[in-house]
Structure 1
Amino acid sequence: MILVTGGTGLIGSHLLFQLLNKSKRLRACYRSKDSINNVLAVFGYYSDNASSLLKKIEWVEADITDIVSLQEAFKDVEYVYHCAAKISFDPKDYPALVKNNIEGTANIVNLCIEHHVKKLCYVSSIAAVGHSINGGKVDENNEWSNTNVSVYGLTKHEAELEVWRGSQEGLPAVIVNPGVVLGPGFWNTGSGTFFKYASKGKKSYIPGGTGFVSINDVINAMIQLMESKVEKERFILVNQNLSYETLLKKIAPKLGVVSPTKKISFLALEIFWRIDWLRSNLLGKRRRLSKNMAKGLYKREVYSSEKIKKAIDFSFEDLDNAIDFCCTKFLER
């Protein structure tokens, strides 16, 4: 039996689909029954039998911050993919991020040890990887620093430490650190917002850039790592390092709109994060741009995925094809 936490999210739902194609026995956690509709929608992008596939999954209502609900989920489980996490870059959400990302991961690790799970795959993020040195590429060996790190990155780093703690206690485990994951189905959050933003024909784009990877590459890497003898290792998953300008110029024509041409200045960003801070404190609104996020745009990190390529002879798919697929599904939504 395989357990997938965060099964109703972007990575979790695609992972479930691929594991079903391998005829695996699956159990997945959910917190709201309505969220299972997200999985049905994702399955529908790839299959005409989405409903019948969904019925093959054993769904368990469980919260990773609640040990009692998780106990039932872990019954007879041999392998665990821990995809569940809270994603927010708003400093006000730090306590919730700690509870979900750090304490929740500690619960998963402890239950894996208690139930003698054969292997754990933890989905972290490039936000939890150290900064580059002298402008070089970032890899798995870069030293961690708290400087200009988002609250999300801080908690994902601490969550990784819980996984390493578990590995020291005898739990076979691997960690993946994906870049921005491009995949269909969640257009109002995460990478989906790039497609939504581009579809409006916006004229401006933010400076900087980051590492991008397709959802298929993330899922394939996770499954291959779990089926390999590799353990006690972490792997950056980045196919291409792109500027946000380049990404939007790839997306916009596929959506039938004009690409943005005006770069938002760093001065404008400095003004905006201060106004955003004031707006949040006076009106209680969610932050859209924190100080650390704005500062992070000044320096563009370039990520290396050479380790995953060598470890399991992994090959990334054509990212342009993945972007085209997302654009097609966005227009069909």
Structure 2
Amino acid sequence: MVILVTGGSGFIGSHLVDKLLEKGYDVRVFDLIKPHREDVEWIKGDLLSKNDLFRAFKDVEYVYHLAAIADVNIALSRPELCVQVNEIGTLNVLQAAQSFEVERIILASTTWIYGRAEGIVSEETPIPPPEHLYTATKIGQEYLLMTWNKHYGLPYTILRYGIPYGPRMRKNMAIAIFVRKAMRNEPITIFGDGNQGRCFIHIEDLAEGNIAALSERARNQIINIAGDEFITINRIVNELRKIFGEIRVRHEPPRPGDFRGAIISIEKAKKLLNWKPKIKFSEGLRKYVEYVRCHS
């Protein structure tokens, strides 16, 4: 079985590739950037090139579609590129999958689509109108897969990721910024009271959740894959204090647009996929700090 991972050289994609290879699958990476390891087939290509995609889809049975403009800052600074890659790129992937009679496409979506919902949200929670261009394109991707299934019968699985952290994460992500500031003994800025939070998920747990989604029980399903702890900004700082000792904190007024965050229900993933995260936040943060120290 050949499994194609679009965006397989990125943060999440590279860890998914690691896990797939570890479990004995034949893996092919479709990305503009070379994978971080040599023992995987790489098709250098662009989502906006149908010719590139058709080269990549030969003999493929399952597709993990992770390639996207995922940095919200790039989405705002280059909106046309964001819409083209995330929407038209996904349409091109669907057309290639249909042409090559792929068994199923597994989409990397995001819990950001729940917007400003508070309390507990599940896959049944109504999706509000998006407040960010990036979120709008992720909602669009989900609807493309669902309507394509209705028109052409191509099976899908939509995975709504919580906020991932861990080795190889982008340096402009909150946890990465906080860790490096702690290492340099620089003050960490907290906006508001610090009780806003997210259901962070360690990248290894997220990769395992993706593997679990190969199950036939995930066919034509939408599933949250997130951490089972709601981690506030204050909690992150306190965990860093356990590692580094005293940490200076600078408090600033709340930023416009900030929201408290929601608790993401993963009950469906537990029941349907027999999956749940194994790495507690305190352990995952320590592992990430060790990684940064080794690569500084």
TM-score (norm: length of structure 1): 0.79
More deviation in 96-105 or 182-191?
A: 182-191
| Aligned position for 2:5 | 4
Deviation at 1:216, TM superposition (A): 1.3
Q: Equivalent residues in 2 for 1:120-199 (5 A)?
A: 120-132=105-117, 135-146=118-129, 149-168=131-150, 169-190=152-173, 191-199=175-183
Deviation at 1:222, TM superposition (A): 1.0
Contact preservation (8 Å) 1:131, 1:144: no
| Aligned position for 2:231 | 242
| Aligned position for 1:204 | 189
Q: Structure 1: state its 5+ residue gaps.
A: 41-53, 270-293
Distance in 2 (alpha carbons) for counterparts of 1:315 and 1:298: 26
Deviation at 1:299, TM superposition (A): 3.6
| Aligned position for 1:49 | none
Selected match of 1:78 from 61, 64, 75: 61
Q: Deviations over 1:83-129 (max 9, x none)?
A: 11112324332211111111111111221111111111111111123
Distance in 1 (alpha carbons) for counterparts of 2:161 and 2:223: 8
| Aligned position for 2:210 | 222
- 1:312 correspondence with 2:273: yes
Distance in 2 (alpha carbons) for counterparts of 1:80 and 1:260: 45
Quick one: structure 1 residues 197 and 160, their matched pair in 2 at CA, closer, same or farther if it must change by over 3 Å? farther
Which amino acid is 2:95 matched to? N
**Identity over the aligned pairs, expressed in percent?**
24
Q: Number of aligned residue pairs: give it.
A: 284
Which amino acid is 2:45 matched to? A
Give 1 or 2: higher helix fraction: 1
Instruction: Flag as ranges the 4+ runs of structure 1 deviating above 6 A.
Output: none
| Aligned position for 2:26 | 25
Q: Structure 2: state its 5+ residue gaps.
A: none
Distance in 1 (alpha carbons) for counterparts of 2:266 and 2:122: 7
| Aligned position for 1:13 | 14
Distance in 2 (alpha carbons) for counterparts of 1:61 and 1:20: 19
Distance in 2 (alpha carbons) for counterparts of 1:158 and 1:122: 12
| Aligned position for 2:201 | 213
Contact preservation (8 Å) 2:217, 2:273: no
Deviation at 1:330, TM superposition (A): 0.8
Selected match of 2:247 from 253, 256, 259: 259
Q: Equivalent residues in 2 for 1:38-49 (5 A)?
A: 39-40=36-37
Distance in 1 (alpha carbons) for counterparts of 2:201 and 2:217: 24
Contact preservation (8 Å) 1:88, 1:97: no
Contact preservation (8 Å) 1:80, 1:117: yes
Distance in 2 (alpha carbons) for counterparts of 1:204 and 1:131: 22
Q: Deviations over 1:55-106 (max 9, x none)?
A: 2x11111111211111100011111111111123243322111111111111
Distance in 2 (alpha carbons) for counterparts of 1:162 and 1:194: 36
CA RMSD of aligned residues (A): 2.0
TM-score (norm: length of structure 2): 0.88
SS at match of 1:175: strand
Deviation at 1:257, TM superposition (A): 5.4
Selected match of 1:104 from 89, 112, 115: 89
SS at match of 2:119: coil
Contact preservation (8 Å) 2:157, 2:219: yes
Distance in 1 (alpha carbons) for counterparts of 2:247 and 2:215: 42
Give 1 or 2: higher strand fraction: 2
Which amino acid is 1:302 matched to? I
Distance in 1 (alpha carbons) for counterparts of 2:181 and 2:68: 24
Deviation at 1:194, TM superposition (A): 3.9
Distance in 1 (alpha carbons) for counterparts of 2:102 and 2:69: 24
Distance in 2 (alpha carbons) for counterparts of 1:157 and 1:184: 27
